[in-house]
Amino acid sequence: MRILVISNMYPSNQAPTFGIFVKNQVEALMNKGNQVDVAAITNPNMGKKNVAKKYSSWIYSTFRRLVSAGKSYDVVHAHYAFPSGLLARWFHKRFGTPYVVTCHGGDLNKMAKKGRFFRNQTKKILKDAAHVIVVGHDLEKQVIDDFQIPSDKVSVFSMGVDRKVFYPRPVTDIHKKWDISPYEKHLLFVGNIIEEKGIGDLVEALPKVKQRFPTMRLHVVGPAKQESYLETLKERLQTLGLSEQVNFHGPKSQNEVAEWMAAADVFILPSHIEGFGLVALEAMACHTAVVGTKTGGLAHLLDDGAGVLAEPQQPDSLADNIIHVLNYDDERKQVVEKAQEKVDENDADKMTDKVLAIYEDAQQRNGK
C-alpha cells in the first residue's frame, strides 16, 4: 500500500522528540511492507514570523507533492484535523483519494475553538474523511456530538507504546549512568514545558511533598516552548527555596526518556487538558507508577487502579497523591501491575494493525 502521511509535527535531528509519535507509526507501517511518504513540519520553533514561514513553506511543498503524485497514493493519513486535514481533504476533492484523520486533542480542544472559520473547516475535514481516529473517549464524544460525525466512522485508540523502547530496566544501572542518587525520591515530568501541561501546578505542589520527603528531587525532561515561561518557573522555584532540588534536563531521545522513566520513583503528568497521555503510558510500560490528573484521556488511561488521579489545577490534590504513591511501596507495586493491562491493550504493533484495517476499509468503500 502506498500511503502519504501529512503532519504539522515530525521529528528531526535538531528536534528529535517533536511529533515522535507520528514517526513511530510511520516506521511501524513501513515495517509491515508499506511505502510511506511524509509531508510534515519538522521545525518546532514558535513566534509569528517563524510560524508563518514554516507553515507557508509546508503547505506549498505539500501541494506540489500532491499534484505531482496524482492518484498514486492509496490513502492519505492526516495527523491533526486542522491544518493537516485541510491538505488531505483538498487531495480527496481533486483526485478522489480517501483520507483518514487522527485527532490528537489540540486540534479539537484548542484549534477548532479559535473561531468560526476554524470550527467550520474542522467540521468539513471530519465530515469528508473516510474515517476519524481519536486518541481518547472525550475526543470521541466531541467528534460525534459536536461535529455530528456518525459513530461508525469513528474509532478510539492511541498511537500505541513501543515496547522495544519502553520497558523496565535495572534501576541501579540507570542510577549510575545518569548519576542519580539512590538516597533520594525521584519525581519525573516529561513533556513540553508549557502551562497546559500543569508544570506550574507541580512546582506549587513540591513544598508539601518536600515536608514529607525532604530528599525528594524533581527531574523535568522536555523542551521549553516558551523561554519566558521557563524563567517564570525557575523564579518561582527560587522563591520557594527549591531551585537546588529541581533539575531541567532539556529534551532527550526516546531511549534516554525511557531510562529516566525506569529510574524514577513516580512519573507525574499534571495536565490541564490531555487527548490521551501517551507519555504516561510509556512510563507505565517502564514499570513506573503514574500520578496524573482527571482530564481527557488521562482519566480513562489511569482508571481502575492503573494509576493515581489528582484533581486538575489543584496543587494540594497533586501533592497528596504524589505523597501517597511514594509512601506505600506495596500499593505502588499494585498500581504498576494493574497498569500492564493498559500497556498490553495499547501495544504499538496492535495499534498499527488497526490503522491498516481502517486504510483497507477506506480503499474498499472508495472503490480503489
Same fold, 2-160+348-366 and 171-345: yes
Three-state SS string over the chain comes to: CEEEEEECCCCCCCCCCCCHHHHHHHHHHHHCCCEEEEEECCCCCCCHHHHHHHHHHHHHHHHHHHHHHCCCCCEEEEECCCCHHHHHHHHHHHHCCCEEEEECCHHHHCHHHCCHHHHHHHHHHHHHCCEEEECCHHHHHHHHHHCCCCHHHEEECCCCECCCCCCCCCHHHHHHHCCCCCCCCEEEEECCCCHHHCHHHHHHHHHHHHHHCCCCEEEEECCCCCHHHHHHHHHHHHHCCCHHHEEEEECCCHHHHHHHHHHCCEEEECCCCCCCCHHHHHHHHCCCCEEEECCHHHHHHCCCCCCEEECCCCHHHHHHHHHHHHHCHHHHHHHHHHHHHHHHHCEHHHHHHHHHHHHHHHHHHHCC
pLDDT for 368: 53
Whole-number pLDDT of residue 367? 57
The CATH classification of domain 171-345, taken from the options 3.40.50.2000, 3.90.105.10, 1.10.3720.10, 3.30.830.10: 3.40.50.2000
What CATH architecture is 2-160+348-366? 3-Layer(aba) Sandwich (3.40)
Amino acid (1-letter code) at residue 319:
A
Give the CA radius of gyration of the chain. Answer: 21
Q: Say what the pLDDT of residue 313 is.
A: 97
Residue 32 sits at φ, ψ, to 5 deg, of -95, 15
Q: Where are the domains of the chain?
A: 2-160+348-366, 171-345
pLDDT in tens, 26-72: 999 999 999 999 999 988 877 777 888 888 888 888 888 777 777 78
The per-residue pLDDT for 71 is: 78
pLDDT value for 52? 85
pLDDT value, residue 355: 97
- Low-confidence stretches of the chain (pLDDT < 70) are 366-368
Residue-wise pLDDT for 118-155, tens only, equals 999 999 999 999 999 999 889 999 999 999 999 999 99
